[in-house]
A and B are shown apart, each in its own frame.
Chain A
């Protein structure tokens, strides 16, 4: 497509300014999308879904799914992934598996253990607090505590040293009235304070 300089600047201006002010025309509905129960184009909605049951919404099932990560690479837990990314094929399968295991009488922890056995600990949203993971969980707090303690000790030593040198310098006589020099110092300090 050949575009002249005028057309280019015009399109850029429209893109930057015009888009926000232009009214969008009302969308025309497709035929057959009314209350007939059938959509005109079901393919554009993505993968067909199954009806939601009370078991799907069980808070215990939700809690289990929120402790397990979907392996599709989204980084989300199973519940959030399957209710957000409707193209994912992993999280719906895991959901069915969890429902099936729950129906067989397994507790939440047992279901989690079963997933760990199958996929490894990387399936967990939170790595267990053992081994090298302990460093990640508690290392920062320990480091903070040590750093804060070290800082307090160091500052205390420096503040004592600073106070001692002030005392060693001896007392200054108190002037009854400020000199021009001292007024200039006040002005300088105030201008620094104000900024």
Chain B
């Protein structure tokens, strides 16, 4: 099977090169035979890479430990669910996953693109082939998933215990899907430049892909946060780790693009900027992969240092160079069709929104590579860690949150003072009221108070927009309010789906502010002993240790502590944190013992208990108890962001728009 897999990679390599050459040549010369050949090459590339994936999964499930990748990432007693996910848990497998999914997306783009946009497809297939060939090249020459060992171990090393978690089954694929799918809008952007068709058409062609990519990134980032929270045991969900930042950067740039593209569609402005954003998002997606795999920046996520970093660095260097040349040569074709009429307009607010998003992305990028930058300039390495990131980014994030509420309130083209007063009155009142309430309740921390005030303002904006839209439909069509709400969303998915996303973002910000109120303590408890911890809400939790139990389960040896929890003297439940020693099929320990956190969640706060160990082999357990306020709102916020993204992406809306257009035409006709 490894021979089949290796052969498939070589066939993919040559097929991809053929597809790239014929795509560019066919597009440039208008040769339909070459264009067809390139199209078929993408499908063939997809097929061969699927064969490679099939081969690797076969080797994993067959436990062929003579294959280095298999021996390094699984063991005979690994649960089958994780054997599947071993495909992308390692360097080589994840490269194969990337190339395969890219070829699938490329094939889908070729099949699903509307006929009026087919003019871009030769270049799209060429770009997809180029990127896929790059990943195949890295596999063939630096990180081959089918490489064999000179011997066959009796069992594999097993999977890192931290990866044996449902979150890690879904988080990497979601993130990869987000990274990879950025290549499709990028390919269309390159196609638009090469074909010199730079009107709004290419934007319409990539609309769903852009939102899909953003949606995958959003879900992937949230799943990563969830995994970090439930698995790593440190009690947080975001640590500004370089690999976390690598996923955040393209997300920020894509978010900026999703906003500024509306200006180009409606007013024909920001053409140069939008192209720059798409290129930037793609470059950042590859750069993120470079960061993860090169080892230039230390990270708990990093794959082992390997020569693939050099490949990625060169690829980025060449790609940025070529894109810059292409962009500069097409600048004369990217003139705006309209001009800004007023600083107080939605166009201007979107520009400031873009400034914030791209600016935060630049900030995160600079702070992430600060060790390299500082060493290069001063000779001394300075590492910016979470406190520094928070110091810089919290105010910037709050400014962005404010803009989230301001933007929708300002009219297109020009907003008058009376209009602004009318628009801002209710949301500002809501924000100030909420801020005063939390102050009266005793909250004095500056950033959380500002966050909640701004949250009230933004939510006020969203509620006002929905209320006005629903009231208008109710008056115009006589619909009952729930039906009017549904039709409002259905008729303008982009706008109102966007408001749903904004609501999710607000919840996330509020949830993040809860970490300012985290409390924790550690204790060593004999069976029957307890410890108390006061919640920021005012009540007191009592944690009573009952005892330790030890047993074997699946591929691990478990030591579990049982803790009974009471709130203000009333028992509310039992929590069972664990220490796990993973073993291979011969019972030999693999990796250091890991902790499995016990978490008890409700809407207000999470109780988070970690079993550190025991004292002197006895049942006296050492625990860390933490109270994390508002964590559930992180997951709710993430779900609402994803829901908003799905609403925006949902196809349809033409029936409603036809009806509205007819209605307007009829009304205009009645005035004659």
Contact = CB atoms under 8 A, between A and B. Distances in A.
A42 B618 CA distance: 8
A169 interface: no
Interface stretch (A98-106, A110-118, A121-129): A121-129
A148 B355 contact: yes
Contacts of B265: 192
Contact of A155 (B83, B233, B235, B348): B348
Given A84-B234, A190-B660, A30 B550 contact: yes
A159 B522 contact: no
Nearest to A34: B547
A161 B593 CA distance: 68
Given A12-B84, A191-B661, A39 B548 contact: yes
Interface stretch (B22-30, B465-473, B609-617): B609-617
B165 to A, nearest CB: 13
Given A29-B549, A39-B550, A49-B614, A195 B62 contact: no
A23 interface: no
* Overall SS of chain B's interface: mixed
A147 B388 contact: no
Contacts of A30: 550-552
Contact of A35 (B384, B391, B527): B527
A132 B378 contact: yes
Nearest to B493: A195
Contacts of A191: 654, 657-658, 661
A136 B612 contact: no
A140 to B, nearest CB: 4
Given A87-B593, A141-B392, A46 B613 contact: yes
Contact of A46 (B351, B547, B579, B615): B579
B613 A44 contact: no
Interface in A172-195: 177-178, 182-183, 186-187, 190-195
Nearest to B625: A83
A100 to B, nearest CB: 19
B619 A136 contact: no
A123 B334 CA distance: 50
Interface string B614-629: 1111111010100000
A165 B341 CA distance: 11
B559 A190 contact: no
B387 interface: yes
A57 B521 contact: yes
Contacts of B624: 83-84
Interface of A: 1-3, 8, 11-12, 14-16, 18-20, 24, 27-30, 33-35, 37-42, 44-52, 56-57, 69, 73-76, 80, 83-87, 121-122, 125-127, 131-133, 136-137, 139-141, 143-144, 147-148, 151-152, 155-156, 158-159, 161-163, 165-166, 177-178, 182-183, 186-187, 190-195
Q: Please list the 6 inter-chain residue pairs (A to B) with the smallest Cβ-Cβ separation, ordered nearest first.
A: A162-B339, A42-B617, A194-B657, A15-B80, A27-B551, A126-B387
Given A69-B385, A161-B339, 15 more contacts: A3-B62, A15-B61, A28-B552, A39-B548, A39-B617, A73-B300, A76-B239, A84-B234, A86-B595, A140-B392, A140-B396, A143-B359, A151-B355, A186-B664, A186-B665
18 contacts: A12-B61, A27-B553, A33-B550, A35-B547, A39-B617, A44-B579, A45-B581, A80-B234, A84-B624, A85-B233, A86-B579, A125-B385, A136-B384, A140-B366, A140-B392, A141-B392, A177-B672, A178-B671
